[in-house]
Structure 1
Amino acid sequence: KAEGKYLDLQQALQEVQLSRTACRKQLHKAMGFAKDLVTEQETLLKALHQRQQENKVVKQIGTDIATRMDSLKNQLKTVQRDAWHELSTVEQRLQDQDSIIISLKREHNEEVERLKQIIKQKEESNLLLRDSNSSIPMPHYLLLKDRNMN
């Protein structure tokens, strides 16, 4: 009986040892799986942190671009306003110069007419003098003028 009990206990011990070995293998696999999960989680956290940093940088770049665009827009408005002001000043100067040119042309034409009148009066007075004193020879340009006019 004792031998049967001994065999039963030995068999139970073997089963416990097998069970213990199986539990150790299972525990070892579970620990390896947990270790893999922790490693993967750390990798994912690092990737998440990197993405967050990239997003932060992209957001900052976007803000910088928006700020620069606003600045350029304001500069463009200033340039446009100044250009319109300059254009209106140039147009005013051109109008003033045009008025001056018209006035100068008118004065020139009046002066030319006045000088023509003086020349005509001088020619008439010379003709009267010539008729009164026929000994003075008539200038060639007057002789030619009379021929060309007829």
Structure 2
Amino acid sequence: MLKVYFTSVSRPLSGIFRSRQGATATEMALILPLLTSMLFGVFEFGTVVYAYSGMQFGANRVARTVSVNRMTSAQARTAVQNYVPAWARNDVTVLVSQSNPSDTNINLVNVQLSIAADKATPLPLLTRIAPWQLTSTVVMKQELPYVD
């Protein structure tokens, strides 16, 4: 009698464990959040690297232009922002300084750009978890005045 009871209960339960219906949907439900977060992470990392590349290129170009006396420090602040991507342009901090502007033999032009990583991407999802700062610094020695 007891043996018949366990057999009648265990037979329908064994069918549940052997059934493969819905296995794909369950696996997709478990994997999909990981895949989407990886996709957004790659996109976000790419945009942060793109913004940093623009910052570095802009700082280098502007420091070179200031060092050959083609631009003043005041003009350099606005010029360097044109190299930064549009979504980060208003949030970047630009510092342009010269060590000794009166003596061209020892003057160093220093261009420093800084922005928070969550401001350097148009879709800040993962950069808000661990906030960090992007900083680009270029120092160039001033050259003799440029003559056409």
TM-score class, shorter: 0.3 to 0.5
Using the size of structure 2 for normalisation, the TM-score is 0.42
For the pair shown, the structure with the greater C-alpha radius of gyration is 1
Higher helix share: 1
